[in-house]
Amino acid sequence: MNYEKILKKVEENKLDPQEAFEKLYVKEVVLPKARFVKLKINILDSPGTTAFLKVLFCLPLPIFFVKSLVKLARKDMGDETYELVSELLGYAKGASVMVDSDEIKVDIKVS
């Protein structure tokens, strides 16, 4: 709707002034979409495996590749874990998850 029609509805009391304000001035924020996923995996007890994983994931992975791998691994993950991972991949640019435990440290950045 254009500016004049909304003001006319407010004048005729067909539209609340707050609703008119929201229609006129409040815009939705569109966040940039993610395109790549960067993985850093550090296994504390095994430096050889850590080095291999650093070489394997030295470049960011395209988001469509990661989503397809997550769909393939759905059976092994379980429904709750699958939903959490797919929700992370649906986020916009800049989302980050860090997992720290006694044996392994994982850093996932969506960019």
- Locate the domains of the chain by residue range: 1-30, 36-110
103 in Cβ contact with 44 (< 8 Å): yes
pLDDT over threshold 90, residue 72: no
Residue 25 pLDDT class (50, 70, 90 cuts):
confident
Q: Kindly indicate the confidence band of residue 1, based on its pLDDT and cuts at 50, 70 and 90.
A: low
Single pTM value for the model: 0.61
Average the pLDDT over 58-83 and give the result. Answer: 82
Q: Could you read off the pLDDT of 26-64 as tens digits, one per residue?
A: 777 777 888 898 999 999 999 999 999 999 999 999 988
Residue 91 has pLDDT above 90, yes or no: no
How much is the mean pLDDT over the chain? Answer: 85
Percent of the chain past pLDDT 70, that is, above it, reads: 97
23 pLDDT higher than 80: yes
Yes or no: say if 106 and 45 are a contact pair by the CB < 8 Å rule: no
Nearest one of 60, 42, 44 to 52, comparing CA atoms: 42
Q: Output Rg (C-alpha) for the chain, integer angstroms.
A: 23
79 pLDDT higher than 80: no
Average pLDDT (82-109) is: 81
